[in-house]
Structure 1
Amino acid sequence: MAAVMPEGWFRGASELEEFEGVPFEEQPALVVGVPAAGLPAEAAAFDGRLPVEWEVCDRPVGSIEDAFTAAIGPHMGEIHWESLQWPDAPEVGFHGESKHAEVTLLFNTHIRFSDEPADDHTVLVHVRSVNIDGHQRREPYAHWLAEQVGLAVIGPAQRS
Protein backbone atom coordinates (compact mmCIF):
# COMPACT_ATOMS: atom_id res chain seq x y z
CA MET A 1 0.00 0.00 0.00
CA ALA A 2 2.82 2.40 0.87
CA ALA A 3 4.38 1.96 -2.58
CA VAL A 4 1.11 2.86 -4.29
CA MET A 5 0.07 5.57 -1.83
CA PRO A 6 3.30 7.37 -0.86
CA GLU A 7 1.53 10.54 0.32
CA GLY A 8 -0.08 10.91 3.70
CA TRP A 9 0.62 9.18 6.98
CA PHE A 10 0.38 5.60 8.17
CA ARG A 11 -0.63 4.89 11.75
CA GLY A 12 -0.81 1.53 13.52
CA ALA A 13 -3.42 0.55 16.07
CA SER A 14 -2.86 1.10 19.79
CA GLU A 15 -4.88 0.79 22.95
CA LEU A 16 -6.02 4.02 24.62
CA GLU A 17 -4.24 3.25 27.90
CA GLU A 18 -1.14 1.75 26.28
CA PHE A 19 0.89 4.96 26.29
CA GLU A 20 -0.82 6.79 29.12
CA GLY A 21 1.76 9.06 30.73
CA VAL A 22 4.30 8.48 27.94
CA PRO A 23 5.29 11.75 26.25
CA PHE A 24 4.16 11.95 22.64
CA GLU A 25 7.75 12.13 21.34
CA GLU A 26 8.63 8.86 23.13
CA GLN A 27 5.77 6.84 21.64
CA PRO A 28 6.59 4.41 18.80
CA ALA A 29 6.70 6.07 15.38
CA LEU A 30 4.18 3.62 13.90
CA VAL A 31 1.68 4.56 16.63
CA VAL A 32 2.20 8.30 16.25
CA GLY A 33 2.21 8.14 12.45
CA VAL A 34 4.88 7.92 9.79
CA PRO A 35 5.10 8.75 6.08
CA ALA A 36 5.21 5.78 3.70
CA ALA A 37 9.02 5.94 3.49
CA GLY A 38 9.19 5.66 7.30
CA LEU A 39 7.19 2.43 7.59
CA PRO A 40 9.16 -0.43 9.16
CA ALA A 41 10.42 -3.08 6.75
CA GLU A 42 10.24 -5.97 9.22
CA ALA A 43 6.87 -7.67 9.68
CA ALA A 44 7.40 -8.00 13.44
CA ALA A 45 7.07 -4.21 13.81
CA PHE A 46 3.37 -4.59 12.95
CA ASP A 47 2.61 -7.14 15.69
CA GLY A 48 -0.29 -5.72 17.70
CA ARG A 49 -0.48 -2.68 15.38
CA LEU A 50 -2.98 -3.93 12.80
CA PRO A 51 -5.02 -2.57 11.22
CA VAL A 52 -2.84 0.24 9.93
CA GLU A 53 -4.67 3.41 8.90
CA TRP A 54 -3.59 5.63 6.03
CA GLU A 55 -4.59 9.28 6.23
CA VAL A 56 -4.45 12.06 3.67
CA CYS A 57 -6.19 15.39 3.92
CA ASP A 58 -7.74 17.80 1.45
CA ARG A 59 -7.76 15.55 -1.61
CA PRO A 60 -10.47 16.11 -4.20
CA VAL A 61 -12.94 13.32 -4.90
CA GLY A 62 -11.56 11.16 -7.69
CA SER A 63 -7.89 11.72 -6.83
CA ILE A 64 -7.17 8.54 -4.83
CA GLU A 65 -10.03 6.12 -5.35
CA ASP A 66 -8.67 4.23 -8.39
CA ALA A 67 -5.20 3.76 -6.93
CA PHE A 68 -6.64 2.73 -3.57
CA THR A 69 -9.02 0.24 -5.20
CA ALA A 70 -6.18 -1.33 -7.15
CA ALA A 71 -3.95 -1.50 -4.06
CA ILE A 72 -6.61 -2.96 -1.77
CA GLY A 73 -7.51 -5.72 -4.27
CA PRO A 74 -9.61 -8.43 -2.62
CA HIS A 75 -8.76 -7.24 0.91
CA MET A 76 -11.02 -5.19 3.16
CA GLY A 77 -10.51 -1.47 3.47
CA GLU A 78 -12.33 1.83 3.54
CA ILE A 79 -12.14 5.40 2.38
CA HIS A 80 -13.80 7.80 4.80
CA TRP A 81 -14.57 11.41 3.92
CA GLU A 82 -15.37 13.70 6.85
CA SER A 83 -15.84 17.42 7.49
CA LEU A 84 -18.38 17.60 4.68
CA GLN A 85 -21.33 19.97 4.36
CA TRP A 86 -24.70 18.56 3.31
CA PRO A 87 -26.67 20.89 1.02
CA ASP A 88 -29.82 22.78 1.86
CA ALA A 89 -33.09 21.27 0.69
CA PRO A 90 -35.67 23.77 1.95
CA GLU A 91 -38.33 22.33 -0.36
CA VAL A 92 -38.36 19.18 1.79
CA GLY A 93 -37.55 20.85 5.10
CA PHE A 94 -33.85 20.07 5.33
CA HIS A 95 -31.26 22.66 6.12
CA GLY A 96 -27.66 21.90 5.20
CA GLU A 97 -25.44 20.92 8.07
CA SER A 98 -21.99 19.60 8.78
CA LYS A 99 -22.59 17.64 11.98
CA HIS A 100 -21.94 13.98 11.14
CA ALA A 101 -21.86 14.82 7.42
CA GLU A 102 -19.63 11.98 6.27
CA VAL A 103 -19.40 9.30 3.59
CA THR A 104 -17.62 5.95 3.94
CA LEU A 105 -16.79 3.65 1.03
CA LEU A 106 -16.27 0.10 2.28
CA PHE A 107 -14.28 -2.31 0.12
CA ASN A 108 -15.06 -6.02 0.30
CA THR A 109 -17.13 -5.69 3.48
CA HIS A 110 -20.53 -4.31 4.47
CA ILE A 111 -19.77 -3.19 8.04
CA ARG A 112 -17.18 -0.78 9.40
CA PHE A 113 -14.77 -2.13 12.01
CA SER A 114 -15.58 -5.71 11.04
CA ASP A 115 -13.57 -8.64 9.80
CA GLU A 116 -16.47 -10.07 7.79
CA PRO A 117 -15.49 -10.08 4.10
CA ALA A 118 -17.95 -9.55 1.26
CA ASP A 119 -17.73 -9.86 -2.51
CA ASP A 120 -18.81 -6.28 -3.15
CA HIS A 121 -18.55 -2.78 -1.78
CA THR A 122 -20.85 -0.61 0.34
CA VAL A 123 -21.35 3.15 0.59
CA LEU A 124 -22.41 4.52 3.97
CA VAL A 125 -23.94 7.99 4.16
CA HIS A 126 -23.68 9.51 7.62
CA VAL A 127 -26.25 12.07 8.75
CA ARG A 128 -26.98 13.41 12.20
CA SER A 129 -29.50 11.39 14.14
CA VAL A 130 -32.34 13.43 15.64
CA ASN A 131 -35.13 11.56 17.38
CA ILE A 132 -38.11 13.71 18.35
CA ASP A 133 -41.10 12.10 20.09
CA GLY A 134 -39.98 8.66 18.90
CA HIS A 135 -39.78 9.76 15.26
CA GLN A 136 -36.47 9.84 13.42
CA ARG A 137 -36.31 13.30 11.83
CA ARG A 138 -33.03 13.06 9.92
CA GLU A 139 -33.23 9.62 8.30
CA PRO A 140 -35.32 10.98 5.41
CA TYR A 141 -32.38 13.29 4.66
CA ALA A 142 -30.22 10.24 3.80
CA HIS A 143 -32.92 9.15 1.34
CA TRP A 144 -33.05 12.63 -0.18
CA LEU A 145 -29.24 12.72 -0.54
CA ALA A 146 -29.24 9.35 -2.32
CA GLU A 147 -31.96 10.51 -4.71
CA GLN A 148 -29.83 13.52 -5.70
CA VAL A 149 -27.30 11.16 -7.32
CA GLY A 150 -29.86 8.75 -8.75
CA LEU A 151 -29.52 6.11 -6.03
CA ALA A 152 -31.63 4.79 -3.18
CA VAL A 153 -31.00 3.74 0.41
CA ILE A 154 -31.07 -0.05 0.40
CA GLY A 155 -30.50 -0.91 4.04
CA PRO A 156 -31.75 0.09 7.46
CA ALA A 157 -30.27 2.94 9.41
CA GLN A 158 -27.51 1.93 11.78
CA ARG A 159 -28.01 2.92 15.37
CA SER A 160 -24.96 3.17 17.58
Structure 2
Amino acid sequence: MPGEPARPDTALDLGGDWQCLPVELELEDAPAGSVEDVLIATVGSNPAALQWWPLRWPAIPELDRPRYEGGDAGVEVTLNCRRLFMEDPSDDHTVYIHVQSQDLQRANRLANRIGRHIIGEPQYV
Protein backbone atom coordinates (compact mmCIF):
# COMPACT_ATOMS: atom_id res chain seq x y z
CA MET A 1 0.00 0.00 0.00
CA PRO A 2 1.26 3.49 -0.76
CA GLY A 3 2.56 5.20 2.36
CA GLU A 4 3.40 1.94 4.10
CA PRO A 5 6.99 0.70 4.35
CA ALA A 6 7.88 -2.15 2.01
CA ARG A 7 8.88 -5.40 3.68
CA PRO A 8 11.44 -7.74 2.05
CA ASP A 9 9.04 -10.70 2.45
CA THR A 10 6.19 -9.02 0.55
CA ALA A 11 5.93 -8.40 -3.20
CA LEU A 12 5.01 -4.82 -3.94
CA ASP A 13 1.90 -4.55 -6.11
CA LEU A 14 2.10 -1.22 -7.91
CA GLY A 15 -0.59 -2.15 -10.41
CA GLY A 16 -0.77 -1.02 -14.03
CA ASP A 17 2.16 -0.20 -16.27
CA TRP A 18 5.01 1.06 -14.09
CA GLN A 19 7.95 0.48 -16.43
CA CYS A 20 8.93 4.16 -16.40
CA LEU A 21 8.65 4.53 -12.63
CA PRO A 22 12.12 4.83 -11.08
CA VAL A 23 12.24 3.19 -7.67
CA GLU A 24 15.23 2.98 -5.36
CA LEU A 25 15.15 1.01 -2.14
CA GLU A 26 18.09 0.88 0.22
CA LEU A 27 18.33 -1.82 2.86
CA GLU A 28 21.18 -1.92 5.31
CA ASP A 29 22.24 -5.22 6.82
CA ALA A 30 19.64 -7.29 4.96
CA PRO A 31 20.58 -10.98 5.19
CA ALA A 32 21.76 -12.63 1.97
CA GLY A 33 18.84 -14.23 0.19
CA SER A 34 16.21 -12.06 1.88
CA VAL A 35 15.25 -9.78 -1.02
CA GLU A 36 16.36 -11.42 -4.26
CA ASP A 37 13.30 -13.59 -4.97
CA VAL A 38 10.89 -10.78 -4.04
CA LEU A 39 12.73 -8.35 -6.34
CA ILE A 40 12.70 -10.77 -9.28
CA ALA A 41 8.98 -11.51 -8.79
CA THR A 42 8.15 -7.81 -8.44
CA VAL A 43 9.99 -6.51 -11.51
CA GLY A 44 8.92 -9.37 -13.80
CA SER A 45 10.40 -8.66 -17.23
CA ASN A 46 11.23 -5.01 -16.47
CA PRO A 47 14.86 -3.95 -16.02
CA ALA A 48 16.20 -3.65 -12.49
CA ALA A 49 19.47 -3.79 -10.59
CA LEU A 50 20.52 -5.23 -7.26
CA GLN A 51 23.73 -3.85 -5.75
CA TRP A 52 25.88 -4.73 -2.76
CA TRP A 53 28.00 -1.72 -1.64
CA PRO A 54 30.52 -1.22 -0.18
CA LEU A 55 32.25 -4.55 0.18
CA ARG A 56 35.63 -5.49 1.55
CA TRP A 57 37.83 -7.39 -0.86
CA PRO A 58 40.30 -9.67 0.96
CA ALA A 59 44.04 -9.52 0.33
CA ILE A 60 45.31 -11.86 -2.39
CA PRO A 61 49.00 -12.35 -1.55
CA GLU A 62 49.72 -14.54 -4.60
CA LEU A 63 48.58 -11.66 -6.85
CA ASP A 64 50.26 -9.05 -4.66
CA ARG A 65 46.87 -7.41 -4.03
CA PRO A 66 46.22 -5.83 -0.62
CA ARG A 67 42.93 -5.92 1.25
CA TYR A 68 40.64 -3.25 -0.15
CA GLU A 69 37.42 -1.60 0.92
CA GLY A 70 35.92 1.51 -0.51
CA GLY A 71 33.66 3.02 -3.12
CA ASP A 72 34.87 0.77 -5.92
CA ALA A 73 34.29 -2.50 -4.06
CA GLY A 74 30.92 -4.01 -4.93
CA VAL A 75 28.84 -6.51 -6.84
CA GLU A 76 25.87 -5.60 -9.02
CA VAL A 77 23.33 -7.75 -10.82
CA THR A 78 21.33 -6.21 -13.65
CA LEU A 79 18.04 -8.01 -14.31
CA ASN A 80 16.56 -8.11 -17.80
CA CYS A 81 19.31 -5.90 -19.20
CA ARG A 82 22.93 -6.32 -20.24
CA ARG A 83 24.49 -3.01 -19.30
CA LEU A 84 24.81 -0.84 -16.25
CA PHE A 85 22.14 1.81 -15.75
CA MET A 86 19.55 -0.66 -17.10
CA GLU A 87 20.43 -0.12 -20.74
CA ASP A 88 20.20 -2.79 -23.48
CA PRO A 89 17.08 -4.77 -22.45
CA SER A 90 17.43 -8.56 -22.57
CA ASP A 91 15.87 -11.76 -21.31
CA ASP A 92 18.79 -12.57 -19.04
CA HIS A 93 20.83 -11.11 -16.20
CA THR A 94 24.41 -9.83 -15.91
CA VAL A 95 26.70 -9.80 -12.88
CA TYR A 96 29.25 -6.99 -12.47
CA ILE A 97 32.22 -7.10 -10.13
CA HIS A 98 33.23 -3.54 -9.20
CA VAL A 99 36.91 -3.05 -8.50
CA GLN A 100 39.44 -0.27 -8.94
CA SER A 101 40.81 0.00 -12.47
CA GLN A 102 44.23 -1.27 -11.37
CA ASP A 103 42.61 -4.31 -9.72
CA LEU A 104 41.24 -6.26 -12.70
CA GLN A 105 43.10 -9.40 -11.55
CA ARG A 106 40.89 -9.42 -8.47
CA ALA A 107 37.72 -9.39 -10.59
CA ASN A 108 39.01 -12.34 -12.63
CA ARG A 109 39.90 -14.29 -9.51
CA LEU A 110 36.49 -13.64 -7.93
CA ALA A 111 34.71 -14.85 -11.08
CA ASN A 112 36.91 -17.95 -11.24
CA ARG A 113 36.15 -18.81 -7.60
CA ILE A 114 32.51 -19.40 -8.52
CA GLY A 115 33.35 -21.26 -11.72
CA ARG A 116 32.77 -18.32 -14.07
CA HIS A 117 34.89 -15.97 -16.12
CA ILE A 118 34.79 -12.34 -17.21
CA ILE A 119 32.91 -12.15 -20.52
CA GLY A 120 33.32 -8.51 -21.44
CA GLU A 121 35.75 -5.67 -21.47
CA PRO A 122 36.09 -3.47 -18.36
CA GLN A 123 33.63 -0.59 -18.28
CA TYR A 124 34.25 2.89 -16.95
CA VAL A 125 37.96 2.38 -16.18
Pairwise TM-score range, normalised by the shorter structure: 0.7 to 0.9
1:62 aligns with 2:33: yes
From 73, 76, 81, give the equivalent of 1:101.
73
The alignment covers a number of residue pairs equal to 114
Aligned 1:3-22 pairs, distance under 5 A: 6-7=6-7
From 81, 104, 126, give the equivalent of 2:52.
81
Q: TM-score, normalised by structure 1?
A: 0.63
Unaligned segments of structure 2, at least 5 residues: 9-13
How far apart in 1 are the matches of 2:81 and 2:117?
19
How far apart in 2 are the matches of 1:59 and 1:85?
16
Aligned 1:10-49 pairs, distance under 5 A: none
Q: Offset of 1:122 from its aligned partner? A: 0.3
Partner residue in 2 for 1:35: none
CA RMSD of aligned residues (A): 2.6
Q: Offset of 1:116 from its aligned partner? A: 2.7
Instruction: Specify the SS of the correspondent of 2:106.
Output: helix
Structure 1 residue runs of 4+, over 3 Å off?
Answer: none
User: What is the percentage of aligned positions where both structures have the same residue?
Assistant: 35
Unaligned segments of structure 1, at least 5 residues: 9-40, 131-137
> Which structure has the greater CA radius of gyration?
1
Q: TM-score, normalised by structure 2?
A: 0.79
Instruction: Specify the SS of the correspondent of 1:53.
Output: coil
